[in-house]
Each structure stands twice: as structure tokens, then as C-alpha cells.
Amino acid sequence: MRRLGVGMGWRPEIAEEIGRLPGVDWVEVVSENICPVALPEALRVLRERGTAVVPHGVSLGLGGAERPDAGRLAALAERAEALGAPLVTEHIAFVRAGGLEAGHLLPVPRTRDALDVLCENVRIAQDALPVPLALENIAALVNWPDEEMPEGRFLAELVDRTGVRLLIDVANLHTNHVNRGEDPCAVLDELPLEAIAYVHVAGGIERDGVWHDTHAHPVTPPILDLLAELRSRTAPPGVLLERDDNFPAGGELAAELEEIRAVFATPRVRTGPGPLGVRTGSGTSGVRTGPGASGVRTNPDAPAPRTAARRPYASQPQRQPAPGHGIGTARRRLAAAQSGLLSALVAGAPVPAGFDGTRLRVQAEALAAKRAAVVAKVAPELPGVLGDGYRPAFLRYARTRPLTGGFRRDALSFVEHLLASKDETEPRDRAARRELTRWWRQRSGPAPLPAGRTARLAEQLARRLRRQQPGHAPRRRPGSRRRRAAGRNASRAD
């Protein structure tokens, strides 16, 4: 695997800062956010310098019950070729089910059915991509009931059956430790270390006992200590800092990168089995209590790290689903389970059996908040028009209208919902409605619209546009036929 070094997640908001940061060996771009035939100038300059660029996909949903979408795979392949990327990355997650979109990465159940489907989906993706594929472990708030294996074993079997590489996010390991009680060191103990392509590091924040992997806060000591735990086991080809919002000044980014570089450069010495000098605790504190104190549960009986010569699954006959019917049955069962969960999260359906209803409500609120934030980025004019009322209005809209298309369509649907509202009591509201109407007219396309006030508005706009087209015959007004007939009769009488 090619050595990458220390990298930074490339975002347009900090493109100039990244170009000036010292020691950035490579960058990672969100695949869906770039156009391969018109790369941003700052990204093009980095490539000309020889900086490697890795496309990072977020919408394939390889952990979903459906086969990967050929169009999405082709788009990811196109970006890999346009960027000259050494590899591409995606997530072990599902993002859609039952005709609904999550707008977020949701966890795959660690079951045999889910593993069988994931493995086949990964093979399909590998065949369609021009470069190697690596998959990232995700953070989650929700535990699936009746899981059949821990995360480390699930990842190890995935690698053994497909040869896919891994993108290990230590911030996600920390998140799952706090929110789901999982031992990150146990995950690291079972990983096929030689399959790691690179590592993600990101910051977050704790609220009410829940760790939020925000990518908008500084990296905390427990996450850096998990990076040290991983580094004590192996030397991954690369490590990357992610930052998606609340961007600090370039000096702060440089300081964070330097701290990550220091941890990544020199492995800590292991003095015995188990994790490096860790203590029992939630890991949410930012105070270190000793060398390598990562705030994760002590695991004195942990096995030695897995190596290429010590991989329990590689030497065993691999379980394969029966041809045809077997994988089809697994897909149907997984589809039913994922549709039930997603419907509960975004469409108000009952909580599926075995799930924690409180956790599902927290996850549902987080999904709606993220959806509001993404729509605000896609259509920044809307928060400008609505001001402080944007977020509560969008959250009310999202409670009864799940995401079924992209975020641009969601922005249009949100405005259509507002324009159909009968609340025009405030002059400020009327002014906002005029602005929203103007915005909607400029961006709405030919897609069918729901009946009602918005549909009438669309028809009025369509008629106006038709009248403006060259060669358009003006519509005859009522009574004009009678007037023309009367004129002809008058001529005959003459």
C-alpha cells in the first residue's frame, strides 16, 4: 500500500488555508461535492504540486440491502480517474431503504445476513472501480438487537472474504465506546492490521452523556490516545484530520496536525498485553491521568494484535451464501429490517422491536438537525430570508416529510411547504413569502408539483413563460370567436 503520510480533509471553506499549511502530504475530498471536469482551482493547484488526492464517498450505501447503484459507482470511478487517486474510500453503512433517504450514515447490523450482503456489494463495487477500495467504520447512536458478532470480528471477516482495505476512524471508535459501550481496544485487537489503508482523526463534543462526532471541534486527548493505541500495533500508511464545520484559523489547524503527526511518528512502547496504560472510564474527559491514558475500558485478557501470519478466518473455509436464493433471502430480510428502522427514524413509524426508543428519538433529532444544516448549505438564501425562524420551521417540516430525494429537491419541497401555508398574519411573513416565491420561481424545474396553492402558482408561472416564448400564439380571450363571427356576418351583409 502506498505511503500517504499526514493529510487534511479538503473543504472549500478552508481551501486557501490548506494550501498554505506546512507538511500536508495529501488531502481527501468528499466525492459527491466535486465535478471531475471542473475541479476547484485550489484543488487543481495542490495536484500540480504532487499532493495526492483521495475521493471519499458518502452516498453508495454498500451496507444497504440493494445492490450498489451503477450510476453512483460510475461517478466514483470517474472522480478517482480524474484525480489520479491511489484509492477510493466509502463507509460500512446504509443510507436508504424502503424508498426513504437517511441523509446520514446508519449502522449495519453485525449479522450473517448483513455480512453476506455487504460482501457481495463490496465485490460489485471493486469490479466497477479502477483503484483499490477501502471502507470506513462509522459512529452510531443506535444498537441493533440480536447482533451475532462484535465489530472487530465483523471487519475481519469482511476483509478475509473480499480483500477490501480498511479506513479506521479512531474518533468513531471513541464515539461508539461512549454511546454504545463498545471497547475500542477489543476492536483493534481483532483487526487485520495489514489491511489498513489509512486512519481518520476528528473532534467532537459530549452533551447529556452522548458523544457527538461533530467534526467541528478540536481533537480531544482520548481520541489521540486511541490513535496511539493503533500506532503501537502497526504503522498505517497514512493519517488524516477531518474538519467539516466551525473552521478555525490556519494556525490552529497547523497545531492540530502537528500533534497528530507527533503521535503518528513514534509508537508508544507496549509493556504487556492489553491497551497502553489505559484506565476505566467513559473517555469523555479531556484530562490525561497518565502516559497513554485513553479513557477506555481496561482489557487485560486482550489477545495479541492480529498479523498477516495470525488471521483466524483466513485459514478456515469461508461461509458463502447459497447461490441465487441464499443471497436473495438475505437481502429481503435485511431490507425489511433496515426499512423498519429508517421509517421509525425519519417518518414517525413505530419503534421496531428490540430497539431503544429513547436512543431512536435522539438519533431522529440528530438526523433532522443534520438535514436542516445540509439544506442551509445547499440553499443558503433560505436562512437569510427566514432568519432565526429557519431551523424551527425546517424541523417542523421534516417531522412529517421524510427525505426521499437529494438535498436540493428537499430545499424546493421545504419552500413549497412554506408557500402552501395559510399563515400570512404578519407583514414580515408576507415579505418573506414574496422572497421565497421569487427564490422558488428561479430554481423549480419541470417535475410535477403537489396540488394546491403551489401548483396554481407553478401553472401561473408556466403560462407566463409560454407567452414570452418566440412564435407563441396568444390565447384567445372568451367571446373573441363570437366577435369574429359577427364581423364575418357583417361583411357578408355588405
455 burial (CB, 10 Å; 0-12 / 13-18 / 19+) is middle
Band of pLDDT at residue 338, cut at 50, 70 and 90: very high
The dihedral over CA atoms of 460, 461, 462, 464, expressed in degrees to the nearest 10, equals 90
CA atoms of 174 and 240, how far apart (whole Å) = 16
End-to-end CA distance of the chain: 97
Q: Could you tell me if 9 and 27 are in contact, meaning their C-beta atoms sit under 8 angstroms apart?
A: yes
Q: How far apart are CA 154 and CA 165, in angstroms?
A: 13
310 vs 189: CA distance, rounded Å: 12
Q: Half-sphere exposure of residue 395, counting CA atoms within 13 Å on the CB side? A: 12
Residue whose cell numbers read 493519517:
239
- pLDDT for residue 492 is more than 90: no
| CA pair distance 247, 107, nearest whole angstrom | 27
Among 391, 374, 380, which residue's Cα sits nearest to residue 101? 374
**Distance from C-alpha of 264 to C-alpha of 257, rounded to nearest angstrom:** 10
pLDDT, tens only, 115-146:
999 999 999 999 999 999 999 999 998 999 99
Average model confidence (pLDDT) for the chain? 83
Instruction: Tell me if 296 sits within 8 A of 177, measured CB to CB.
Output: yes
79 vs 198: CA distance, rounded Å: 19
Is pLDDT of 67 > 90? yes
Task: Give the tens place of pLDDT for each residue, 17-40.
Answer: 999 999 999 999 999 999 999 999
Burial class (CB in 10 A: 0-12, 13-18, 19+), 4: buried
Whether residue 325 is predicted with pLDDT greater than 80 in this model: the reply is no
pLDDT in tens, 88-123: 999 999 999 999 999 999 999 999 999 999 999 999
Asked if 441 contacts 137 with a C-beta cutoff of 8 angstroms, the reply is no
Alpha-carbon distance 408 to 413, whole Å?
Answer: 9
Question: Of the given ranges (1-10, 276-285, 352-361, 389-398), which has the lowest mean pLDDT?
Answer: 276-285
pLDDT score of 209: 82
> What does the alpha-carbon distance between residue 2 and residue 237 come to, in Å, rounded to a whole number?
7
The answer to whether the predicted template modeling score (pTM) of the entire model surpasses 0.85 is no
For cell 475500542, the residue is 184
* pLDDT for 472 beyond 90: no
**Contacts of 272 by beta carbon, 8 Å cutoff, 6+ apart:** none
Three cell numbers, residue 330: 438475505
For residue 393, what is its C-alpha cell? 420551521
Q: Please compute the mean of the pLDDT values over residues 4-13 and round it to a whole number.
A: 96
Report residue 399 as a C-alpha cell: 417531522
Given this model, what pLDDT does residue 420 score?
A: 86
Q: How far apart are CA 139 and CA 200, in angstroms?
A: 12
Residue the block writes with cell 460500512: 92
Instruction: Indicate the burial class of 199 (C-beta count within 10 angstroms; 0-12, 13-18, 19 or more).
Output: buried
Task: Tell me if residue 113 falls in helix, strand or coil.
Answer: helix
Q: Which residues contact 356 (CB under 8 A, 6 or more apart)?
A: 142, 143
Residues 217, 258: Cα–Cα separation, whole Å: 16
Percent of the chain with pLDDT over 90: 68
Give the three cell numbers for residue 262. Answer: 507527533
Backbone φ and ψ of 189, nearest 5°: -65, -30
Looking at residue 457, what is its pLDDT?
Answer: 57
Report the candidate in 167, 158, 209 with the shortest Cα–Cα distance to residue 28. 167
DSSP code for 307: B
**Contact (CB, 8 A) for 162 and 195:** no
Residue 270 has a pLDDT of 58
Beta bridge partners of 28: 9, 54
